[in-house]
Amino acid sequence: MSMITTKLPSFMPNNPLPSPALQLVFPGVWKLRLGQNPEAFTPVNYRVIPAQEEGLCELPALETPPLDIAQVRAEKQTRGLLVKLPLGDEEVYGFGLQLKSFRQSGKKKTIRVNSDPVSDTGDSHAPVPFYVTSGGYGVLVDTTRYASFYIGAHQAPGAPRDADETAAAFSATGTEALYSGVDKASSQVVIDIPHVEGVDIYLFGGPTMLDAVRRYILFSGGGCLPPLWGLGIWYRTFGQFNQQEVLKLAHQMRDSKVPCDVLGLEPGWHSHAYSCSYLWNPKTFTAPDALIAELRGLDFEINLWEHAFVHPTSPIYRELMPYSGDTAVWQGLVPDFSLPKAREIFAEYHERELIQKGIGGFKLDECDNSDFIVSPWSFPEHAQFPSGMDGEQMHSLFGTLYAQTLWEAFRKNDQRTLSQVRSGHALSAPLPFVLYSDLYEQADFLRGVVNAGFCGQLWSPEVRQCASVEDLFRRLQMVVFSPQALINAWMVPLPPWRQFDEVKNRAGEWHADWEAIEAKVRELFEFRTRLVPFLYSAFADSHFRGIPVCRALALDYPQDLETRAIDDQYLLGQNLLVAPMLTGQTRRRIYLPEGEWVDYASGQRFSGKQWIEREADLYTIPLFVKFGTLLPLAEPRTSIGHDPRFVLTVKVFGESEAAPFRLYADDGVTFGYEKGQGGWIELAWDAQRGGSVQAEERAHAGRYTVRSWEVVPTRHSLR
Residues 30-89 that bind a second copy (CB under 8 A): 77-80, 82
Whichever of 304 and 555 has its CB closer to a second copy, that residue is 304
Of 27, 194, 608, 672, the residue at the interface with a second copy (CB under 8 A) is 194
Side chain identity at residue 135, one-letter code: G
Binding mask 515-554 for a second copy (x = CB under 8 A): ----------------------------------------
Query: Contacting a second copy (CB under 8 A), which of 16, 60, 282, 584?
Result: 282
Of 517, 516, 523, 463, whose CA–CA distance to 489 is shortest? 463
In the complex with a second copy, the residue whose CB is nearer, 70 or 167, is 167
User: Contact 180/172 with Cβ under 8 angstroms?
Assistant: no
Residue number, 172 or 561, with CB nearest to a second copy: 172
User: Which of 294, 344, 438, 441 is close enough to bind a second copy by CB under 8 A?
Assistant: 438
Q: Closer to a second copy at the Cβ: 380 or 608?
A: 380
Contact positions with a second copy (CB under 8 A) in 481-520 = 491-492, 502, 506
Peptide bond into 131 cis (omega under 30): no
Q: Are 694 and 686 in contact (CB under 8 A)?
A: no
Question: Judging by beta carbons within 10 Å of its beta carbon (0-12, 13-18, 19+), is residue 566 exposed, middle or buried?
Answer: buried
Rg of the chain over Cα atoms, rounded to whole angstroms, equals 25
- Phi, psi at residue 68, to the nearest 5°? -75, 105
Q: Is 321 in the site for a second copy (CB under 8 A)?
A: yes
Distances, alpha carbon 510 to alpha carbons 227, 245, 520, 609, in Å: 34, 17, 16, 46
**Toward a second copy, which CB reaches closer, 384 or 717?**
384
Within 140-179, the residues that bind a second copy by CB under 8 A are: 148, 150, 153-176, 178-179
Determine how β-strand 715-716 pairs with β-strand 604-607.
Answer: parallel
Which residue, 192 or 351, is less far from a second copy as judged by CB?
A: 192
For the beta carbon of residue 15, count every other beta carbon within 10 angstroms: 5
Question: Which residue from 274, 514, 619, 680 is in contact with a second copy, where contact means CB under 8 A?
Answer: 274
Q: How far is the CB of 214 from a second copy (least distance, A)?
A: 31
CB of 392 to a second copy, least distance (A): 7
Shortest Cβ distance from residue 108 to a second copy (Å)? Answer: 5
Nearest one of 401, 398, 337 to 369, comparing CA atoms: 398
- Count of residues in contact with a second copy, rule CB under 8 A: 99
User: In this chain, which of 92, 333, 480, 576 binds a second copy, going by CB under 8 A?
Assistant: 333
Residue 374 or 512: which CB sits closer to a second copy?
Answer: 374
Q: How far is the CB of 38 from a second copy (least distance, A)?
A: 13
Three-class SS state of 252 = helix
Return d(Cα 392, Cα 369) in angstroms, integer: 10
DSSP assigned state of 488: E
Write down the least CB distance from residue 286 to a second copy, Å. Answer: 12
Residue 190 touching a second copy (CB under 8 A):
yes
3-state class of 304 per DSSP? strand
The binder of a second copy chosen from 180, 508, 559, 689 (CB under 8 A): 180
Q: Is residue 318 a contact point for a second copy (CB under 8 A)?
A: yes
How far is Cα 703 from Cα 532, in angstroms, rounded to an integer?
13
Residues 6+ apart with CB under 8 A from 74: 34, 35, 81, 82, 83, 84, 198, 199
Alpha helices of 286-338 — where are they, by DSSP H? 288-297, 317-320
- Burial of residue 690 (CB within 10 Å: 0-12, 13-18, 19+) is exposed
* Binding track over 248-267 against a second copy, x by CB under 8 A: ------------------xx
Contact status: 311 vs a second copy (CB under 8 A): yes
* 247/695 with CB nearer a second copy: 247
**564 and 577 Cβ atoms separated by less than 8 Å:** no
Q: Which is nearer to a second copy, 122 or 223 (CB)?
A: 122
Omega of the bond leading into 207 within 30 degrees of 0 (cis): yes
Residue 183 touches a second copy, criterion: CB under 8 A: yes
Nearer to a second copy, 274 or 514 (CB): 274
